[in-house]
Amino acid sequence: MTTASSIDGRLFQFVGSIDAPFVAGSFVTTEGSSAMRHVGFVDDVTLTDGGALSGVGRVLGEIDADGNLSTTHVGSFFDVALHEATADVIESVYRAADATLTVGSLVQTPEIEAKLIPHRFNRHTFWCGQSGSGKTYALGVVLEQLLIHTALPMVIFDPNADFVRLNELRSDSDADGHRALRARDIRVLSPGGQGSGALRARFRDFSIQSKAAVLRLDPVADRDEYNALTRVTGLGHVDREGIVPALRAADDPAGDLLVKRVENLRLADWTVWAYDSADVNKVLDERPDATVLDIGGFTFPGEKLVVALAVLDHLWAKREERRPILIVIDEAHNLCSPDNDTPLHRAVRERIIQIAAEGRKFGLWMLLSTQRPSKIHPSILSQCDNLALMKMSSPVDLAELATIFGFAPESMLARSPQFQQGEALFAGGFVPAPTLLKVHDRLTHEGGSDVRVPLR
Ligand SMILES: Nc1ncnc2c1ncn2[C@@H]1O[C@H](COP(=O)(O)OP(=O)(O)O)[C@@H](O)[C@H]1O
Ligand SMILES: [Mg+2]
């Protein structure tokens, strides 16, 4: 028999025989003579020298005979028998937390569904796993659930065209989820798109700082050119009809240098500029349910950064309107790695750091996905309250995650190298307790799945 005790009604210890069924991540209940039983969650299990099993966990609440979970005023208990929680009990835990996003099933007990808490996406989320671990696929599953169950609009920075078919369902089923997704307004903007499907940003709308970043100008090191820019900045576009003729006409040597800069950077050849047509922010201001930005398809590396800067500057400028939006950035190291150092990279990263630090209360919530924690600026990581971890083999990276995300039990993080594709650890505010799960299948089509080796 395994028995558990808790001094404070918050944490508990247990000891039992070696064949006890508990592992880190197990939901457990105590056996009690009264109708109330404690519900808990195992954080860590170790073998004692004497060959027994010992472990620690946290108390989630007390459950009554009708399956109602109460999380207030949980008292201490001493030497009570501990059992695996049944599916009903786990279901009560999810119900009490309003966890409704069914994203997968528990690895331990696959017959039980794993659920996330939708209203806790009002925090920043960090999503990590090595390449091929299934991050983008699983992210798609979560975004579908958010689309089905919430009215939270999302903008998705999609560098590999993985989400460009988010508006196409894989089956014509009439199930609730499918019907809900079919009714959602999902827009896909691409560099080659026509009309309102084109992914464009307007240079004229940029602040002087962002214009300078596009032009790689430093206000002090390049003071003459920067100054020339401030004099033409109201004039509009970065092309032959825009600031270039104005600079030439000014008969100013600094203006001539700035023209050469525009020409050498080939800014007029960038297809990202909207000129007088609709830009990405016009679409976002309408707040479609989801807006997919296919940022990988541009010719010049700076163009995806221009889109990111345009969108993030705009959302930040309008933050006082407090219109919530989930900003999803797949392969987020493209936009906020501590190592990228062009002025445009810096401008985008600074804006992301600012949104990470201050965006929460304005409804600017981010979900950042990448392969290694070190690829994201530490000031951003430290602001994330939700963690999704998929397979990651590097012990250094796992140790770093353990340091930053103290709420994720180390014993569960340590299982990550053994994860199969599609398995994930979810921890933090958006789950009632840290959860190992295998994601369900996607309902919509993946855009760019892996290329297969051609066989004869
Ligand atoms: N849970 C899953 N079920 C089925 N296929 C998956 C699953 N997860 C990933 N895949 C497939 O594996 C490949 C890599 O997954 P992906 O999500 O792109 O990985 P990552 O984003 O971590 O590099 C893709 O072709 C994807 O279709
Ligand atoms: Mg991916």
Q: Which ligand is nearest to the CA of 333?
A: 2
List, chain by chain if needed, residues with CB within 6 Å of any ligand 1 atom: 129, 131-137, 421-422, 439, 446, 449-450
Q: Which ligand 1 atom is nearest residue 446's CA?
A: 27
Query: Measured from the CA of 129, which atom of ligand 1 is nearest?
Result: 22
What whole-number distance in Å separates Cα of residue 323 and Cα of residue 287?
9
pLDDT band, very low/low/confident/very high, at 450 (cuts 50, 70, 90)? low
Residues 11-21 pLDDT 10s: 999 999 988 88
Ligand closest to the CA atom of residue 441? 1
Phi, psi of 117 (to 5 degrees): -95, 110
Give residue 124 CA to ligand 2 midpoint distance, Å: 19
pLDDT score of 59? 95
In angstroms, the CA 187 to CA 14 distance is 52
Residues of the chain with pLDDT > 90: what percent?
83
> Tell me, what's the pLDDT at 51?
87
Query: Whose CA is closest to 158, among 24, 42, 280, 258?
Result: 280
Distance, CA 70 to ligand 1 centroid (Å)?
38
**Among protein residues, the one whose CA lies closest to atom 8 of ligand 1:** 134
130 CA: nearest ligand 1 atom? 22
Residue nearest to atom 2 of ligand 1 (CA): 422
pLDDT class for 171, splitting at 50, 70, 90? confident
CA 16 to chain centroid, in Å, comes to: 39
SS3 440: coil
Ligand 2 centroid to residue 351 C-alpha, Å: 23
Whether the predicted pLDDT of 438 surpasses 60: yes
The confidence score (pLDDT) of residue 276 equals: 86
Cα 319–Cα 432–Cα 186 angle in degrees, nearest 5:
45
How close is the Cα of 6 to the center of ligand 2, in Å?
Answer: 43
Choice between 246 and 90, residue whose per-residue pLDDT is larger: 90
Query: Facing residues of 221 across strands?
Result: none
The number of CA neighbours under 13 Å toward the Cβ of 432 is 26
Q: How far is the CA of 164 from the centre of ligand 2 (A)?
A: 13
CB-based contact 30:77 (threshold 8 Å): yes
CA–centroid distance, residue 333 to ligand 2 (Å): 12
Is pLDDT above 90 for 306? yes
Read off the pLDDT of each residue in 319-344 and give the average, rounded to a whole number: 96
Atom number, ligand 1, closest to the C-alpha of residue 440: 1
449 pLDDT exceeds 60? Answer: no
pLDDT for 233 equals: 67
Q: 412 alpha carbon to ligand 1 midpoint, in Å?
A: 22
Which atom of ligand 1 is the closest one to the Cα of 449? 25
Whether the pLDDT of residue 34 is over 80: the answer is no
Q: What is the pLDDT of residue 99?
A: 97
By most ligand atoms within 8 Å of CB, the mutation choice from 127, 131, 136, 369 for ligand 1 is: 136
241-289 pLDDT, tens digit per residue, is 677 878 888 788 998 999 999 999 999 899 999 988 999 999 999 999 9
Give per-residue pLDDT as tens, 180-220: 999 999 999 999 999 999 999 999 899 999 999 999 999 99
Residue of minimum CA distance from atom 14 in ligand 1: 132
Closest CA to 328 of 182, 189, 139: 139
Helix (H) or strand (E) holding 81: strand 77-84
Distance 127 CA to ligand 1 centre (A): 14
Q: What does the pLDDT look like over 108-160, one tens digit per residue?
A: 889 999 999 999 999 999 999 999 999 999 999 999 999 999 999 999 999 99
Q: What is the DSSP track for 2-21? A: -EEEESSSSEEEEEE-TT--
pLDDT digits (tens, 9 = 90+) for 399-431: 999 999 999 999 999 999 999 999 999 999 999
Nearest ligand to the CA of 135 is 1
Ligand nearest to the CA of 296: 2
| Per-residue pLDDT at 419 | 98
Q: Which ligand is closest to the CA of 388, given by its number?
A: 1
For residues 78-97, give the mean pLDDT: 94
Q: CA 35, CA 28: separation in Å to the nearest integer?
A: 16
Atom number in ligand 1 closest to CA 390: 22
CB-neighbour burial class of residue 403 (10 A; exposed 0-12, middle 13-18, buried 19+): exposed
Instruction: Extract the tokens encoding 64.
Output: 């009554």
Q: Check residue 312 and give its pLDDT.
A: 98
Structure tokens at 367: 């979900």
> Residue 216 has what DSSP assignment?
T
- Mean pLDDT across the stretch 373-392? 97
At 88, is the secondary structure helix, strand, or coil?
helix
Quick one: pLDDT at residue 172?
Answer: 84
Nearest CA residue ID for atom 10, ligand 1 = 134
CA gap 193, 261 in Å, rounded: 29
Are the CB atoms for 227 and 254 separated by under 8 Å? yes
Range name among 26-30, 39-43, 61-65, 233-237 with the lowest pLDDT average:
233-237
Reading the block at residue 406, the tokens are 């103290």
* Cα distance between residue 112 and residue 92, in whole Å: 12
pLDDT higher than 60, residue 165: yes
Q: Which of 128, 136, 137 to mutate to test the pocket of ligand 1 (most atoms within 8 A of CB)?
A: 137
Say how many Å lie between the CA of residue 133 and the centre of ligand 1: 6
Whether 104 shows a pLDDT value over 90: the answer reads yes
Report whether pLDDT(451) > 70: no
pLDDT of residue 453: 75
